[in-house]
């Protein structure tokens, strides 16, 4: 059930409704939009209808949510969720671009990439330090040393930082170093990890599982939100199909569909979706055209030498070119690119 507060509801009235819900044994989630405040209440519907909450001062109406995903759903919150990270937004008018290598390899590689993607207009630097590789014999990541480098790259360039976590231990550690936590496709249904990510105070990028349905993906986001972290960004990164020419099949229909079903921001990762750098630019443009709020793109200063995912990584030159072209697409669909400041 969602309790929609009046536009003029006072803080005291909001607090009283939340308190009353909790006294009655419901779990209450205060979700603040730009215009409105709604309270997501989880519990028995009949009992809630009979509770008298609907006539409390400051309450406009109570709306039942029919979908299995509750806090995530557009029914719970009609406005888009806009997440502020450092000096940019995801989910607002501007398109946010996260770029960087698949894995943090060394200081020089990361800092150089961070400077280059910043100059090209990106807002955040990505870099894996815990790498869930298909083979246990492949490079597994620099772990905490890599996190330190990411933090350094953030300070040096002003970019926000993001890295993938694979378990509670890496999550605890990474939360002390980076601005955004990424949960990868392989862990989308690691429910324990999702719950722990729901208890931190950092935005979480939740990638779509390799063969996850929309509902499974949204239910995974619900796990995070149900623990009180409402800053979830969904990332479409391709799904497993019968096609073998591409690493995965990018499901662009997920973008407008999720936008209908949920208020959360949606970004697209064309790199893991295709596994092929030549397809990254066209699909990035397609993603912006269908309404994505941002992109997550792999960029490496020397893809041929990358320890991980070189064939799908853009060179800095190709990334710069893509950023210029994206500005045109964004304009055509009434959006703008978030402004990256030029380094002096
Ligand atoms: C990644 O972004 O580095 C990654 C491993 O992606 P995914 O979880 O989508 O495979
Ligand atoms: Mn990768």
In a domain, 252, yes or no: yes
Q: Ligand 1 centre from 343 Cα, in Å?
A: 28
Which position has the higher pLDDT, 42 or 153? 153
Which of the ligands is closest to the CA of residue 131?
Answer: 1
Query: Mutate which of 166, 185, 206 to test ligand 1's pocket (most atoms within 8 Å of Cβ)?
Result: 185
pLDDT of residue 35: 84
With beta carbons less than 8 A apart as the criterion, state whether 163 and 150 touch: yes
Mean pLDDT of 108-135: 96
Q: Ligand 1 centre from 78 Cα, in Å?
A: 30
Residues 6 or more apart in contact with residue 318 via CB below 8 angstroms: 277, 280, 281
Query: What would the pLDDT profile of 22-71 be if each residue is shown by its tens digit?
Result: 999 999 999 988 888 999 999 888 888 898 999 999 999 999 998 999 99
Q: To which residue do tokens 């060394």 refer? A: 106
Ligand 1 nearest-atom number relative to CA 296? 2
In a domain, 15, yes or no: yes
* Confidence check: pLDDT of 296 > 70: yes
Q: Taking CB atoms and a 6 Å cutoff, what residues make up the pocket around ligand 1? A: 102, 128, 164, 184-186, 207, 237, 269, 272
pLDDT of residue 43: 87
* Confidence check: pLDDT of 17 > 90: yes
Mean pLDDT of 219-248: 97
Are residue 111 and residue 260 in the same domain, yes or no? Answer: yes
Q: Provide the domain limits for residue 27.
A: 2-63
Domain count, the chain: 2
CATH of the domain at 142: 3.20.20.70
Are residue 49 and residue 129 in the same domain, yes or no? Answer: no
Give the pairing of strands 294-298 and 94-100.
Answer: parallel
pLDDT of residue 33: 85
Q: Ligand 1 centre from 290 Cα, in Å?
A: 22
Query: Mutate which of 105, 237, 271, 298 to test ligand 1's pocket (most atoms within 8 Å of Cβ)?
Result: 237
Which of the ligands is closest to the CA of residue 164?
Answer: 1
With beta carbons less than 8 A apart as the criterion, state whether 130 and 138 touch: no
What's the token pair of residue 139?
A: 């490079």
Query: Mutate which of 251, 272, 275, 313 to test ligand 1's pocket (most atoms within 8 Å of Cβ)?
Result: 272
Mean pLDDT of 280-295: 98
In a domain, 183, yes or no: yes
Query: What would the pLDDT profile of 251-272 be if each residue is shown by its tens digit?
Result: 999 999 999 999 999 999 999 9
* Confidence check: pLDDT of 3 > 90: yes
Are residue 173 and residue 43 in the same domain, yes or no? Answer: no
pLDDT of residue 342: 39
* Confidence check: pLDDT of 341 > 70: no
Give the pairing of strands 88-90 and 83-85.
Answer: antiparallel
Are residue 124 and residue 51 in the same domain, yes or no? Answer: no
Query: What would the pLDDT profile of 70-107 be if each residue is shown by its tens digit?
Result: 999 999 999 999 999 999 999 999 999 999 999 999 99
In a domain, 70, yes or no: no
pLDDT of residue 344: 34
The pTM of the full predicted model, rounded to 2 decimals, is: 0.95
Mean pLDDT of 110-116: 98
Which of the ligands is closest to the CA of residue 267?
Answer: 1
Ligand 1 nearest-atom number relative to CA 207? 9
Q: Which letter does DSSP use for residue 103 in this model?
A: B
Query: Mutate which of 269, 280, 300 to test ligand 1's pocket (most atoms within 8 Å of Cβ)?
Result: 269
pLDDT of residue 134: 87
Query: What percent of the chain lies above the pLDDT cut of 70?
Result: 99
In a domain, 71, yes or no: no
Are residue 45 and residue 89 in the same domain, yes or no? Answer: no
Residue of minimum CA distance from atom 5 in ligand 1: 184
C-beta neighbour count of 105 within 10 angstroms: 23
Residue of minimum CA distance from atom 10 in ligand 1: 185
Residues 6 or more apart in contact with residue 220 via CB below 8 angstroms: 188, 189, 191, 194, 206, 209, 212
Please give the Cα distance from 96 to 297 (Å, whole number): 11
Please give the Cα distance from 183 to 62 (Å, whole number): 33
Ligand 1 nearest-atom number relative to CA 238? 9
In a domain, 233, yes or no: yes
Which of the ligands is closest to the CA of residue 185?
Answer: 1
Q: Which letter does DSSP use for residue 178 in this model?
A: -
pLDDT of residue 59: 96
């Amino acid at each position: 059930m969602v309790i929609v507060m009046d536009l003029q509801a006072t803080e005291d009235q909001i607090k009283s409704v939340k308190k009353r819900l909790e006294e009655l044994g419901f779990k209450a989630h205060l979700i603040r939009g730009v215009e409105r405040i709604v309270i997501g209440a989880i519990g028995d519907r009949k009992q809630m209808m009979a509770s008298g909450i609907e006539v409390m001062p400051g309450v406009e109406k109570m709306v039942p949510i029919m979908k299995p995903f509750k806090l995530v759903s557009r029914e719970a919150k009609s406005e888009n969720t806009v997440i502020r990270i450092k000096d940019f937004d995801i989910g607002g008018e501007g398109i946010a671009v996260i770029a960087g290598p698949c894995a943090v390899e060394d200081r020089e590689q990361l800092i150089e990439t961070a400077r280059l993607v910043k100059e090209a207009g990106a807002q955040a630097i990505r870099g894996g330090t815990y790498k869930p590789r298909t083979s246990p014999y492949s490079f597994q990541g620099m772990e905490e040393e890599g996190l330190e480098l990411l933090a350094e790259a953030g300070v040096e360039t002003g970019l926000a930082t993001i890295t993938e976590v694979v378990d509670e231990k890496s999550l605890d550690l990474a939360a002390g170093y980076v601005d955004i936590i990424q949960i990868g496709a392989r862990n989308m249904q690691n429910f324990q990890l999702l719950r722990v990510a729901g208890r931190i105070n950092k935005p979480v990028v939740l990638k779509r599982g390799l063969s996850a349905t929309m509902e499974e993906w949204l239910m995974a986001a619900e796990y995070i939100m149900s623990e009180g972290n409402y800053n979830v960004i969904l990332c479409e990164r391709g799904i497993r199909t019968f096609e073998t020419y591409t690493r995965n099949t990018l499901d662009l229909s997920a973008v407008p569909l999720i936008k209908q079903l949920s208020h959360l921001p949606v970004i697209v990762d064309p790199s893991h979706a295709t596994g092929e750098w030549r397809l990254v630019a066209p699909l990035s443009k397609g993603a912006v055209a269908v309404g994505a709020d941002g992109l997550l793109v792999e960029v490496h200063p020397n893809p041929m030498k990358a320890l991980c995912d070189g064939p799908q990584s853009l060179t800095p030159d190709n990334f710069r070119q893509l950023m210029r072209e994206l500005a045109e697409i964004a304009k055509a669909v009434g959006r703008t690119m978030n402004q990256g400041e030029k380094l002096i």
